[in-house]
């Protein structure tokens, strides 16, 4: 048989290669010309350079209903094409295109931020601007968003401003597809009609001829609204992008939108509360109706206003602080006395963070119960949030805490236990054993020190044994807060910082405390702008100090499949470390959230980064999230609005328990030599506090008397010359 040559031999292959090379060279030439034109600052394109892959977008887009939105000037001198990189217009070129409005303005929703930081970046598609005001937000095909939540927020503002009703066809963490709700309503009506007709035909009698019944299919309405939008992840660009968009509405516009939910209303009211902290429900209703053209129900306004007011310092606590709350009360040094109750936490850098404070008459179970109930309403239930508390042995605090939050884990301040302990036992060795027991991180270590204490003094051992170990030793603490504090120092530091404020009147003191916290939060937020580490500065120093001691420990892998379990040993000690579960036998990794020296030795065995094994609550992301929330400003008393409610009365003056303390006055030698046979001169004692007789100010139980203003003994009158002449009673001289 003769061999036949196959068509498309070497010549055909060479021809195909040459054609491919020509196309590649042509593409390279186009790219080089485009780059050179941009570098030289050539004339502005009137169309997109990549118009084959996207729509032709010009400066100054208008909304779908034909109205031009309020906009601001473009940040560049020559204007920007959407999808075209920044360029400089040459002299003599007209910077306004034919399709522009002639003012060189563009919508804020399409504004691409330009600065020296992103110089040279080439945005092929329009970028959404978060700073766009309500009513200026515009959506367009191929517009890019940083997150999917940003797109949802922009979609809400756009549809509410346009007065449209939409619904989510698809809504997950990767994509969002929405359609106009009017078309869906028509489709639902058609389906209901078909269902009714089908029931009628099923109920009718069927002939025995065996003829097949024709199925009733709902007819599609050609007039249904075609509005559609689809946003999904663009892996090539690393962002979310609008991939499908049909902007035209054929349905009638409505006054209102189903997208104006409670969360959206609360976001809008929160901004207004910055300037009007005492906004009423009626004013909130008018604000939403006039400024956003949305009519909400009274119930939604009430709930949204309550949510907006609760956002404040507690938001920073829940965002970044660790869930260990210090409770403490301090005395007020003012004329009326009283107690200042406070709840304090710690941020990622171990700074104290005040959650709440209140003024009460005294520390009782009733006052602490009232304070803890309000605290629970703000931060949430301890059974779901797993809050931990630490405090000293204050009167009424523990019964109130067990009643309001029965499942909360509580710690006692060891410093107060130690002070009461040394008051009964004066031995110095016993004093040190108390701290050794408190700082024991394992049960074996704690029991060892307790047996040692029992051998030295059984009475001292019995005194400490009456406290539950979970309240004062690290070995029984909860692992959730990532704090191994055995003292309530964060509350003590807060009380020391406000010592000079505690002697002022109540309203003045509360305002001074609020301003102090505002300055402190602003100071920490300023520090964030200069620090670039992964961990908080204090946690980074702790990790570096622990790394110095890893040279004394040797890690040995046991051979597990996940390569997580190690045996770390030194001359006389061995511990087990599990890198996958973040646990160690010493229990310090579980308590603090920072890898202990044994875990760091195992991490170094695999040459891994120790920062990856630190708990997220100790990183800079948590530190930044803590101070993202700010305290709302409060107007002065002259701008307060009269609510029409009952005016608060002054607190009830209660005499402190016990006898007043005083020093016994020593008798003068002259008094001893005086003749005591003469009778004493009697007089009535008048109280300087209430003005009544029979007692003095120390034993007074009544309210204080307000002193009248001093009376002028003589009035001054002016004469014709402008000088004054004092008139009054004069003594007559004979």
What's the order of all strands across the beta sheet hosting 583-584?
A: 554-557, 565-569, 574-578, 583-584
| Planar angle of CA 108, 109, 110, nearest 5 degrees | 90
What pLDDT is recorded for position 343? 92
For tokens 């009475």, the residue is 459
State pLDDT tens for residues 330-377. Answer: 988 877 788 899 999 988 888 898 989 999 988 889 999 999 998 888
Instruction: Encode 281-312 in three state secondary structure.
Output: HHHHHHHHHHHHCCCCCHHHHHHHHHHHHHCC
SS3 58: coil
**Which H or E run contains 438?**
helix 428-438
The percentage of residues in the chain with a pLDDT greater than 70, rounded to a whole number, is: 65
pLDDT score, position 714: 53
Give DSSP secondary structure letters for 186-223: HHHHHHHHHHHHHHHHHHS---TT-PPPPPP-PPPPTT
Q: Per-residue b/e over 496-529, b at no fewer than 16 CB within 10 Å?
A: eebeebbebeeeebbbebbeebbebbeebeeeee
pLDDT at 588: 92
Domain ranges of the chain: 42-125, 262-310, 322-524, 535-618
* 91 has pLDDT over 80: no
Q: Which pLDDT score, from 0 to 100, does residue 692 have? A: 86
The closest alpha carbon to 602, from 583, 618, 621, 617, belongs to 583
Beta-bridged to residue 229, according to DSSP, are: 178, 245
Does position 455 have pLDDT exceeding 70, yes or no? Answer: yes
Q: What is the mean pLDDT of residues 170-197?
A: 73
Comparing 423 with 288, which gets the higher pLDDT? 423
Which helix (H) or strand (E) is 159 found in, with range?
helix 148-162
Q: For residues 506 and 334, is the Cβ–Cβ distance under 8 A?
A: yes
- Ranked by mean pLDDT, the top range of 589-593, 662-666, 722-726 is 589-593
The alpha carbon of residue 74 and the mean position of all alpha carbons in its chain are separated, in whole angstroms, by 33
Mean pLDDT for the chain? 73
Q: What's the pLDDT score for residue 162?
A: 81
**Choice among 33-42, 391-400, 623-632 with the minimum mean pLDDT:** 33-42
Mean pLDDT of 309-327: 67
pLDDT at 165: 82
Instruction: Flag the least confident range among 122-131, 175-184, 194-203, 221-230.
Output: 194-203
DSSP assignments along 134-155, one per residue = TTT----TT-EESSHHHHHHHH
Structure tokens at 244: 């499908």
Indicate the range of 31-35, 351-355, 398-402, 603-607 predicted with least confidence. Answer: 31-35
User: Per-residue confidence at 74, pLDDT binned at 50, 70, 90?
Assistant: very low
Which of 8-22, 73-87, 225-239, 441-455 is modeled with the greatest confidence? 441-455
On the question of pLDDT at 41 being above 80, the answer is no
Q: What is the mean pLDDT of the segment spanning 20-46?
A: 57
Sequence-distant (≥ 6) Cβ neighbours of residue 475 within 8 angstroms: 440, 441, 442, 443, 445, 446, 469, 587
Average pLDDT over residues 503-530: 86
What band does 101 get if pLDDT is binned at 50, 70 and 90? very low
What does pTM read for this prediction? Answer: 0.51
Q: Give me the pLDDT at residue 218, please.
A: 45
pLDDT greater at residue 655 or residue 456: 456
Angle at 21 (CA atoms; ends 20, 27), nearest 5 degrees: 90
Q: pLDDT-based confidence at 599, cuts 50/70/90?
A: very high
Exposed, middle or buried by CB within 10 Å (0-12, 13-18, 19+), for 324? Answer: buried
- CA separation, residue 346 to residues 355, 379, 415, 484, 529 (Å): 10, 15, 19, 12, 20
Do the beta carbons of residue 427 and residue 457 sit within 8 Å?
yes
- Weakest mean pLDDT among 51-55, 608-612, 676-680, 704-708: 51-55
Q: Work out the pLDDT band at 710, boundaries 50, 70, 90.
A: low
pLDDT value at position 642? Answer: 80
> What is the per-residue pLDDT for 505?
86
């Amino acid at each position: 048989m003769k061999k036949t040559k196959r068509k498309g031999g070497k010549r055909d292959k060479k021809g195909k290669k040459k054609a491919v090379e020509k196309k590649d060279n042509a593409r390279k030439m186009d790219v080089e010309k485009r780059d050179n034109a941009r570098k030289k600052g050539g004339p502005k394109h009137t169309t997109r350079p990549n118009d084959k892959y996207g729509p032709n977008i010009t400066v100054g887009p208008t909304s779908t209903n034909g109205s031009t939105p309020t906009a601001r000037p473009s940040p560049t001198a020559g204007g920007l094409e959407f999808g075209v990189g920044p360029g400089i217009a040459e002299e003599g070129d007209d910077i306004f295109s034919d399709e522009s409005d002639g003012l060189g303005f563009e919508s804020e929703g399409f504004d691409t931020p330009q600065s020296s930081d992103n110089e040279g970046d080439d945005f092929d598609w329009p970028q959404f601007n978060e700073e766009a005001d309500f009513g200026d937000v515009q959506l367009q095909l191929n517009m890019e968003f940083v997150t999917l939540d940003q797109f949802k927020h922009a979609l809400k503002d756009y549809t509410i401003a346009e007065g449209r009703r939409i619904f989510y066809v698809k809504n997950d963490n990767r994509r969002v597809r929405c359609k106009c709700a009017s078309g869906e309503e028509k489709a639902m009506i058609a389906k209901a009609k078909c269902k009714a007709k089908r029931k009628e035909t099923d109920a009718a009698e069927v002939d025995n001829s065996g003829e097949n019944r024709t199925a009733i299919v709902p007819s599609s309405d050609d007039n249904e609204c075609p509005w559609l939008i689809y946003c999904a992840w663009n892996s090539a660009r690393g962002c979310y992008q609008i991939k499908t968009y049909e902007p035209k509405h054929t349905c009638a516009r409505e006054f209102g939108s189903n997208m104006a939910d409670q969360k959206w209303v609360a976001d809008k009211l929160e901004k207004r509360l910055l300037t009007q902290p005492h906004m009423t429900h009626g004013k909130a209703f008018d604000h939403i109706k006039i400024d956003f053209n949305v009519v909400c129900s009274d119930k939604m306004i009430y709930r949204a206003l309550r949510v907006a007011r609760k956002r404040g310092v507690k938001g920073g606590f829940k965002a970044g602080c660790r869930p260990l709350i210090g409770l403490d009360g301090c005395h007020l040094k003012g004329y009326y006395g009283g107690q200042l109750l406070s709840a304090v936490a710690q941020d990622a850098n171990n700074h104290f963070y005040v959650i709440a404070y209140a003024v009460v008459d005294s520390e009782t179970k009733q006052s602490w119960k009232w304070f803890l109930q309000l605290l629970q309403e703000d931060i949430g239930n301890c059974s779901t949030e797993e809050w931990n508390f630490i405090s000293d042995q204050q009167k009424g605090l523990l019964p109130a805490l067990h009643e309001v939050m029965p499942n909360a884990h509580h710690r006692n301040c060891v410093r107060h236990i130690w002070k009461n302990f040394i008051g009964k036992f004066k031995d110095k060795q016993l004093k040190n054993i108390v701290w050794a027991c408190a700082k024991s991180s394992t049960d074996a270590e704690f029991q060892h020190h307790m047996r040692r204490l029992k051998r030295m003094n059984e009475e001292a051992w019995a005194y400490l044994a009456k406290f539950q170990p979970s309240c004062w030793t690290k070995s029984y603490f909860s692992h959730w807060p990532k704090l191994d504090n055995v003292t309530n120092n964060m509350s003590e530091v807060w009380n020391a910082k406000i010592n000079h404020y505690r002697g002022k009147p109540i309203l003045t003191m509360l305002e001074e405390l609020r301003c102090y916290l505002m300055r402190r939060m602003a100071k920490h937020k300023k520090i964030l702008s200069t620090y670039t580490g992964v961990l908080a500065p204090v946690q980074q120093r702790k990790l570096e100090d622990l790394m110095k001691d890893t040279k004394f420990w040797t890690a040995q892998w046991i051979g597990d499949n996940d390569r997580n379990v190690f045996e770390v040993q030194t001359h006389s000690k061995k511990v087990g470390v599990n890198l996958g579960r973040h646990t160690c036998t010493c229990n310090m990794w579980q308590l603090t959230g920072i890898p202990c020296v044994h875990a760091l030795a195992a991490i170094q065995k695999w040459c891994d980064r120790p920062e990856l094994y630190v708990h997220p609550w100790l990183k800079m992301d948590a530190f930044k999230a803590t101070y993202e929330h700010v305290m709302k400003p409060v107007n002065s008393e002259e701008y307060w609005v009269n609510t029409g409610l009952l005016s608060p009365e002054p607190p009830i003056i209660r005499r402190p328990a016990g006898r007043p303390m005083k020093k016994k006055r020593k008798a003068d030698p002259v008094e001893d030599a005086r003749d005591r046979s003469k009778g004493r001169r009697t007089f009535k004692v008048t109280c300087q506090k209430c003005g009544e007789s029979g007692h003095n100010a120390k034993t007074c139980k009544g309210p204080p008397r307000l002193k009248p203003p001093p009376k002028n003994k003589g009035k001054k009158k002016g004469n014709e010359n402008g000088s004054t002449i004092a008139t009054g009673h004069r003594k007559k001289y004979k």
